Amino acid sequence: NAGVTQTPKFQVLKTGQSMTLQCAQDMNHNSMYWYRQDPGMGLRLIYYSASEGTTDKGEVPNGYNVSRLNKREFSLRLESAAPSQTSVYFCASSEEAGGPHEQYFGPGTRLTVT
Amino acid sequence: QKEVEQNSGPLSVPEGAIASLNCTYSDRGSQSFFWYRQYSGKSPELIMFIYSNGDKEDGRFTAQLNKASQYVSLLIRDSQPSDSATYLCAPYDNNAGNMLTFGGGTRLMVKP
C-alpha cells in the first residue's frame, strides 16, 4: 500500500496563478484533511472532509477551495496564489472523523509563490 | 480559539539522557492527546496517544497527562541521535473530533 500520496512534490508559482494540489489514499479511510505548515507554526488545518461528499472549513480556509472527488481523492485548489501561501502543504487521512484516530500524512508539497 | 503551546527549542540533550518535552493547552474540553514526531523535511508520524491522567509508556517513550494543570509531557529515555526531530502535540476533544489544533512543535537535538 502506498498510503497517502501527494502531487506535485514541489511547485513554484507566480502571484495570481492558480494550481491544484492532488491527494489520494489507498487505506479506505473516510476522512481526509489538508494542512499547511509554516516555520515555527506547527500544522494548521485548511479544510477537511469527514466523509465522501462533505467538506468543511478548518482554521485557515481563506484563499483555498477543496473537492472530495471520491472516497480516495481530496484536492486543494489555489485560485489566485499569493506570497502568503508559500508553505508546505500536507494531506492526511484517518479512518473517520469521530473518535480519536491516527492521521496518516502524505509526503507534502513544497509551494513557493513569488 | 484553542491554544497549544510548546517551547520551539532547540532542546539539546546528550545521547543517553532523558529528553523532556512539554505542551500546555487552553481548552479544558480536551480529553486526550496525540504526540507526533516529524523528521526534518518529512511528514509527521504518530508516536503516542494518551487519554487518561497519569503516565503511558511505550518503549523508551512515556507520555504524562495532567488535565487539572492542562499540561502534557513526553519523556524520551536513553535518547538516541535518531530521536532528533520536531515533536508536535495535538489535543483531542470530542466536540472538534479529528479537527486537530497542533502546537508549534519542539525541536529536539540529541548529540552523540
- Convert the pLDDT of each residue in B35-85 to its tens digit: 999 999 999 999 999 987 788 999 999 999 888 888 899 999 999 999 999
Following DSSP, what letter does each residue of A2-39 receive, concatenated?
--EEEE-SEEEE-TT--EEEEEEE-S--SEEEEEEE-T
pLDDT greater at residue A40 or residue A108: A108
Share of chain B above pLDDT 90, in %: 66
pLDDT greater at residue B32 or residue B15: B15
Identify which of A48, A59, A105 has the shortest CB distance to residue B43.
A105
Contact A102 B34 (CB under 8 A): yes
- Convert the pLDDT of each residue in A44-77 to its tens digit: 999 999 988 899 999 999 999 999 989 999 999 9
Share of chain A above pLDDT 70, in %: 98
C-alpha cell at B6: 510548546
pLDDT of B53: 78
- pLDDT at position A97 over 70: no
| Neighboring chain A residues of B88 at a CB cutoff of 8 Å | 42-43
Contact A98 B97 (CB under 8 A): yes
pLDDT of A25: 97
Q: Which of residues 5-44 of B touch A (CB under 8 A)?
A: 6, 8, 32, 34, 42-44
Up-side HSE of residue B77: CA atoms within 13 Å toward CB?
7
